[in-house]
Amino acid sequence: MPKTELTNMVMVQNPETKEVLVQRRVKYWCGITFPGGHVEDGESFYDSAVREVKEETGLDVKNLKHCGCVHWHNTETNDKYIVLFYKTNEYSGELLKSTDEGEVFFTPIESINDMPLSPNFDKYLNVFLSDKCTEIFCNWNEKMKENCDGEPDWDFQYR
């Protein structure tokens, strides 16, 4: 029976400096990304995003705006992996330096692409930063070929 995994990712922006909060992940997969995580049973998408940001950064976020999603579909198993995207510039609390998932810090949005990004985060940024794209859809499976860069040759469809 196909499984569906629901997750979230949140872009937190400092309203004064315009810097964004990033996490340098070291657990499960590595690289720069926005904070986020899994939706727990009995939890709303919104509440899961607020909880995950708190756990991973120490900050309390509010007034999150849903700005899109990525929908991964496994062509062999029909499993789905869905990431709901949110953004906000309203937060309080004291920023943690790091958690077991990695270091967290604010950085200029322009400098993100010069950092070692987590897998596919460069594709996700298109949704966070553009009003023209609200969904990415991608068919995938474990047997798909890799391109010459060693990255899986997936067909990202922007909607």
pLDDT value at position 143? 73
Per-residue pLDDT tens digits for 71-94: 999 999 999 999 999 999 999 999
Per-residue pLDDT tens digits for 37-75: 999 999 999 999 999 999 999 999 999 999 999 999 999
Confidence of residue 144 (pLDDT cuts 50, 70, 90): low
Q: How far apart are CA 118 and CA 140, in angstroms?
A: 18
Residues near 31 by beta carbon (within 8 Å), at least 6 away in sequence = 24, 25, 115, 116, 117, 118, 119, 121
Q: Which tokens belong to 63? A: 């007034």
